[in-house]
Amino acid sequence: MAQRDAFTSKTENLNKYMKLDQKGKIMAEYVWIDAVGETRSKSRTLEEKDWKPEDLPTWNFDGSSTDQAPGHDSDIYLRPVAVFPDPFRGSPNIIVLAECWNADGTPNKYNYRHECAKVMEAYAEHEPWFGLEQEYTLLDLDNRPFGWPSGGFPAPQGPYYCGVGAGKVVQRDIVEAHYKACLYAGVGISGTNAEVMPAQWEFQVGPVEGIHMGDHLWIARFFLARIAEDFGAKVSWHPKPIPGDWNGAGLHSNFSTKEMRQEGGMAHIEAALKKLEPCHLECIKEYGEDNELRLTGRHETGAIDKFTYGVANRGTSIRIPRETAAKGYGYFEDRRPASNADPYRITRVLMTSIFGKL
């Protein structure tokens, strides 16, 4: 079949079908979060219209296949909570973010959004803004970071952070495609950069208000995994993908309230840090698995057993940006969350630590 390969590439073949008219129907990709903090998704056909989350049909999946339910009672319900334009199939097709609910009407064990949404609603008057910096590592199908020599290591860290050029960064195509996909879908992506460890990258989402922060970050994660699939790459969300003298991966969480963003805001930031200090261990519990491998007090982290803060200091739990200190108002950066943390758990515990539990 070498002759056919010469005339039509796989991409051209696919595009021929993707351009076909859908006859008034759309494809809706329902996305949910599974038991291990990865996204899963499946598709269904709907009529073409301007779908709002509350109008979209509830759906279900086999929770016994995702460790989210026992086999004898396996139906998990998918309740739509947010809709985005689909960057893969193009509009009018849609991406539907859904919460997982058990058949008895209780939220599924891994549905962290439900409680988070309640907290965000209760404290909405403070207009909480979040900006999350998602670090991740791109692996080949043998779980080796791209560009790392087989059986060896790259040259020590230094040239890779915000690096430009062959030998310093890899797989920029994935990063670019992801940025575009987020913009197309209206996900609040605010930037991207190559990270300190080779094959590690970061994208930022924010500032985004309240519950929408977690929604946007989860959809951005789904997009990245889906795009990396197209390019034959795996995304690792692990906070210490390579042990040793290599930077780990975090999910720095920048935070401000309406009060902190105004003249005199520094007093509100300091009051919030005083509230966060005694909640340190409670926060750490919400900040991701295997984070103790990363929060060593080295590689631009604070130690896991101590709550510390400082202006422009990257070796602390919390950093107050230089600009915020200079102006006297702005935001702070919680550097503790790991790259694999659930944004609903982070944003919720920040709010309950500062403003109290419901």
Pick the stretch among 13-21, 36-44, 147-155, 199-207 that binds Mn ion (CB under 5 A): 199-207
Q: Would you count residue 206 as binding ligand ADP (CB under 6 A)?
A: yes
Residue nearest to ligand ADP (CB): 131
Nearest to 122 by CA among 211, 54, 255: 211
- For residue 99, the partner it binds in ligand ADP, Mn ion, none, with Cβ less than 5 to 8 A by kind, is none
Q: What string marks each residue from 55 to 94 as x (binds ligand ADP by CB under 6 A) or -?
A: ----------------------------------------
- For residue 331, the partner it binds in Mn ion, ligand ADP, none, with Cβ less than 5 to 8 A by kind, is ligand ADP
Which residues are CB-neighbours of 243 under 8 A, at least 6 positions away?
A: 293
Separation between Cα atoms, residue 212 and residue 203, nearest integer Å: 17
What is the per-residue DSSP string for 334-358? Answer: E---BTT--HHHHHHHHHHHHH---
**Which positions from 116 through 135 interact with Mn ion, judged by CB under 5 A?**
133
Q: Would you count residue 256 as binding ligand ADP (CB under 6 A)?
A: yes
Burial string for 46-71 (b: 16+ CB within 10 Å, else e) reads beeeebeeeebeebebebeebebbee
Separation between Cα atoms, residue 154 and residue 238, nearest integer Å: 19
Pick the stretch among 49-57, 86-94, 237-245, 252-260 that binds ligand ADP (CB under 6 A): 252-260
**Which positions from 208 through 267 interact with Mn ion, judged by CB under 5 A?**
252
Residue 280, phi then psi, degrees to nearest 5: -50, -55
What is the chain's Cα-based Rg? Answer: 21
CA dihedral 260, 264, 268, 271 (to 10 degrees): 150
| Options 190, 259, 273, 355; binder of ligand ADP; rule CB under 6 A | 190
Nearest to 339 by CA among 256, 246, 221: 221
Q: Would you count residue 333 as binding ligand ADP (CB under 6 A)?
A: yes
Separation between Cα atoms, residue 43 and residue 112, nearest integer Å: 23
Pairing of strands 189-194, 200-209: antiparallel
| Options 51, 237, 287, 331; binder of ligand ADP; rule CB under 6 A | 331
**Which positions from 14 through 73 interact with Mn ion, judged by CB under 5 A?**
none
| Options 80, 131, 248, 343; binder of ligand ADP; rule CB under 6 A | 131
Q: Would you count residue 299 as binding Mn ion (CB under 5 A)?
A: no
Q: What string marks each residue from 133 to 172 as x (binds Mn ion by CB under 5 A) or -?
A: x---------------------------------------
List of residues contacting ligand ADP (CB under 6 A): 129-131, 133, 190-191, 204, 206-207, 252, 254-256, 261, 330-331, 333
